[in-house]
Structure 1
Amino acid sequence: MNVLQFANVRSVLCLGAHPDDIEIGCGATLETVFPKDTEMRWVVFSGNEVRRHEAVASADCWLNDFPSSSLAMHDFEDGCFPACWRSIKRVFAELSLEYNPDVIFTHYLHDRHQDHRVLAELTWQAFRNHTILEYEIPKFEGDLGHPNVHIPIDPKRMKSKVDRLLQFHHSQASKHWFDREAFLANARLRGIECDTRYAESFHARKLVIQ
């Protein structure tokens, strides 16, 4: 299993079931802890035409400071990942053969959204010798759990993250949980838990620390 030393990280794989998941879950962390020469690969597994355009524009902005970066988009049906399990598993098998990241960001294993849960399960199946951090997505189901890794985030950076979420993923604006107050409130709560103003938090099931 990889040792968790962010200063030595050279490659990061970020997995999101939907456009905006990666940015919500770990967007500020990516900009805070990893060197700019880190190879950053994003894989988004669903999205209609509108959301695909949003995902590309958002990734272009987020990854602008990482010259070695890429975005891959898939078109699995939103809300139906359990029915696409075999096909999604093939994508993971290909990923695991072609890419050996130092750190992987994926969904929370006990997330109650079926698409999120499928990706989390397949992440652990495909990448068995990697550092995996599971991010959280606030939503109706109330399934955030108790994360055990906290990354303090500078207030200006956190507010910039929220600004960009609202700017690039405007198709989600009608959802009652997709607003500035909700995103900052969750980050503020996680900040309280680690004695800072704002934080992004993760579930780490297995870590080797030196």
Structure 2
Amino acid sequence: MLRLSEVQQVVVLGAHPDDIEIGAGGLLLTLAAANPGVRVHYVLCTGTPDRHAEAMAAAAAFLPGATLTTSLHTLPDGRLPAHWAEVKQIVDDAAASRPELVLSPWTGDAHQDHRLIGELVPTAFRSALHLQYEIPKWDGDLGRPHLYVPLTEEVAAAKVAHLDTCFGSQRDRDWWTEETFRGLMRLRGIECRAPYAEAFHCAKATLRLTA
């Protein structure tokens, strides 16, 4: 069993600024509270300088006290499959930190940028627990996840508040609402008997039995 309080090194990967926080913001807040000083390598494949600045503000808000390193790239939004080699190198470089936990988009995500990163992670990270987060969107691609992280009301509220505060450029989007983010967390909470939760896909995990 991987205890959050024992995790020393984490890699989080997103195609776009805000992907990571939408999909796993509650987990990041819980991780930072359980393990102050945890080392987190934060990787984005796309983004303008303004969007990268938003992401850095979000990383600080969602990971207070963490030792944070970043790898921010400017590949074209929506075109990552056409830049397969560059994305593969970004993922390979991130694996050099040898984390116990890696977070990425889900391989079943309908967005091509998200999906590519999820598919490439297992080719580079051989020993880490790989959790694939979900992102609500127009495509209606939410699946049946396998792993849940229960969240308290306080963590759920903090996630929503940080998203709105840090990503001001997204507020005019019709889906960017507290109701969207809180609603999905509540639904996943129902599925694991918790007030709120985030859900993840996990293609492979190791169960170690000890005496």
How high is the TM-score relative to the length of structure 2?
0.93
The aligned residue for residue 79 of structure 1 is 78
120, 123, 141: which one pairs with 1:143? 141
1:119 Cα shift? 0.5
Q: Which has the bigger relative contact order, CA under 8 A and spacing at least 6?
A: 1
Identical residues among aligned pairs (%): 37
128, 131, 141: which one pairs with 1:130? 128
Q: Is the aligned partner of 1:42 residue 2:42?
A: yes
Mapped contact 1:59–1:71 kept (Cα < 8 A): no
Map of 1:48-197 to 2, 5 A cutoff? 48-66=48-66, 68-96=67-95, 98-197=96-195
How many angstroms apart in 1 are the aligned matches of 2:55 and 2:180?
Answer: 21
Which one-letter code corresponds to 2:37 in the other structure? D
- Unpaired runs of at least 5, structure 1: none
The 3-state SS of whatever aligns with 1:4 is: coil
How many angstroms apart in 2 are the aligned matches of 1:5 and 1:152?
Answer: 14
**C-alpha offsets along residues 24-75 of structure 1, whole Å, 9 cap, x if unaligned?**
1111112214411211111111111321121122122223321x22222111
Which one-letter code corresponds to 2:166 in the other structure? F
1:94 Cα shift? 2.1
The 3-state SS of whatever aligns with 1:74 is: strand
How many angstroms apart in 2 are the aligned matches of 1:102 and 1:130?
Answer: 5
- Unpaired runs of at least 5, structure 2: none
The 3-state SS of whatever aligns with 1:85 is: helix
Which one-letter code corresponds to 2:27 in the other structure? T
Which one-letter code corresponds to 2:169 in the other structure? S
How many angstroms apart in 2 are the aligned matches of 1:48 and 1:170?
Answer: 14
The 3-state SS of whatever aligns with 1:115 is: helix
